[in-house]
Amino acid sequence: MKRLLRKIRETGRVAEPPPQRHEGVPPANVRELGGSVQVRHVDAGSCNGCEVEIASAFGPVYDAERYGVRLVASPRHADALLVTGPVTRNMQVALRRTYEAVPEPKVVVALGDCARNCGAFAGAYGVVGAVGDVVPVDAEVPGCPPEPEAIVATLRALSGR
């Protein structure tokens, strides 16, 4: 136990300093959700690069949870959808149903260039379109993939913390 406490004292803080609120995010159409936001992530056809950055955003260094943001396992427990990838044919109905399962009021965030405009997969035969072609999008996080700071900044815009 003493060794563990000493290690904690020697290591110190590992989390990045908080990014500026709304940094790199268009906040105009983003409603704050009262200090706490539950997020359901949907991979609609991503290459998984965006998922690596989401994992970083919720890891110990960027620690999105300190701003009242939590990933949840069910859309019925969520306030917001975080959608990655272009929407593939196999995921079109699933994304629509997941959106419908989120209680009102709800927010949809298109994360990554593929979610915003199909990115590198534009024109691929298995791609139906961008996230905004299937469900209404309230906020976007640009980048391929977006950096964890930008993801955290957007989620902070939702939680208002």
Residues engaged in binding ligand SF4 (CB under 6 A): 46-47, 49-50, 84-85, 112-114, 119-120, 144-145
Q: Which is nearer to ligand SF4, 113 or 138 (CB)?
A: 113
Q: Are 133 and 99 in contact (CB under 8 A)?
A: no
Q: Which is nearer to ligand SF4, 52 or 61 (CB)?
A: 52
The nearest distance, CB 111 to ligand SF4, in angstroms, is: 8
Q: Which is nearer to ligand SF4, 33 or 47 (CB)?
A: 47
Q: Which is nearer to ligand SF4, 43 or 79 (CB)?
A: 43
The nearest distance, CB 33 to ligand SF4, in angstroms, is: 25
Count other Cβ atoms within 10 Å, centred on residue 101: 15
The nearest distance, CB 130 to ligand SF4, in angstroms, is: 11
Q: Give CA–CA dist 59/87, Å, rounded.
A: 26
The nearest distance, CB 49 to ligand SF4, in angstroms, is: 3
Burial track 31-68 (b if 16+ CB lie within 10 A, e otherwise): eebeeebbbbbbbbbbbebbbebbebbbeeebbbeebb
Q: Give CA–CA dist 67/148, Å, rounded.
A: 14
Nearest to 132 by CA among 109, 103, 106: 109
Tokens of 9: 């004292």
Q: Are 101 and 76 in contact (CB under 8 A)?
A: yes
The nearest distance, CB 102 to ligand SF4, in angstroms, is: 22
Q: Which is nearer to ligand SF4, 49 or 129 (CB)?
A: 49
Residue nearest to ligand SF4 (CB): 49
